[in-house]
Structure 1
Amino acid sequence: MQINWDDFQKVDLRIGTIIEVTEFPEAHNPSYKMKIDFGEEVGIKKSSAQITVLYNLEDLLGKQVLAVTNFPPKQIGPFMSECLVTGFYDSNGAIALAMPEFNVPNGAKLI
């Protein structure tokens, strides 16, 4: 299915820095809970992600990630997710996060 430019512009994809990450033992699949700083305009949002195969807690702190920041909040068990962190499945089904090669300002939009 093709989309037009207006459809693409509706998706608010921004860079944020992970400022807090914890285990999420209540999740059905192994996951982490994260707080991500998207800068002054968007602020800090919470998200959960099934990324425990390729990442440990210490590796994630301070990493920049690409996320959709304009989805409505979604209840995931006892946790309210406020954004969708993006990534790709590797050949084994583990999720590799979408990250910039170089640091960019928090809140920068994907163009």
Structure 2
Amino acid sequence: MQITWDDFQKVDLRIGTIIEATEFPEAHNPSYKMRIDFGDEIGIKKSSAQITKLYNLEDLVGKQVLAVTNFPPKQIGPFMSECLVTGFYNTNKDIALAMPEFDVPNGSKLI
């Protein structure tokens, strides 16, 4: 299925830095809850992700991630997710986060 350039421009993909990561024991699948700083324009948003196979909590803080920031909030059990962190399945079906190779300012938009 092809999309138009206008369709792509509707998706607000931004870089943010994980400032807090905690266990999410209430999730159906093993997950973490995160607070992500997207800079002054967007601020801090919450998200959850099923990334427990490849990432330890203590290693996540300070990592920059690519996220969709203009989805409406979504209730995930007792947690309200405010953005969608992006990633890729590896060969074992574990999720590897989409991250920039170099540090970029929080809130930078994917172009």
Q: TM-score range by the shorter chain?
A: over 0.9
- Cα distance in 1 for partners of 2:30, 2:4 equals 36
Deviations 1:36-64 (A, max 9, x none): 00000000000000000000001100000
Alignment of structure 1 residues 44-59 onto 2, 5 Å: 44-59=44-59
Task: State the Cα distance separating 1:11 from its structure 2 match.
Answer: 0.1
- Cα distance in 2 for partners of 1:27, 1:71 equals 20
Gaps of 5+ in 1: none
- Cα distance in 2 for partners of 1:14, 1:58 equals 23
| Amino acid in the other structure paired with 2:44 | I
* Cross-structure match for 2:106: 106
| Amino acid in the other structure paired with 2:27 | A
Alignment of structure 1 residues 1-111 onto 2, 5 Å: 1-111=1-111
Task: State the Cα distance separating 1:16 from its structure 2 match.
Answer: 0.1
Secondary structure of 2:41 counterpart: helix
Gaps of 5+ in 2: none
| Amino acid in the other structure paired with 1:77 | G
- Cα distance in 1 for partners of 2:91, 2:46 equals 28
- How many residues of Structure 1 are paired with residues of Structure 2 in the alignment? 111
| Amino acid in the other structure paired with 2:83 | C
- Cα distance in 2 for partners of 1:90, 1:56 equals 17
- Cα distance in 2 for partners of 1:58, 1:21 equals 8
Give TM-score scaled by structure 2 length: 1.00
Q: CA RMSD in A?
A: 0.2
- Cα distance in 2 for partners of 1:58, 1:24 equals 14
Task: State the Cα distance separating 1:70 from its structure 2 match.
Answer: 0.1
Secondary structure of 1:46 counterpart: strand
- Cα distance in 1 for partners of 2:4, 2:78 equals 37
| Amino acid in the other structure paired with 2:34 | M
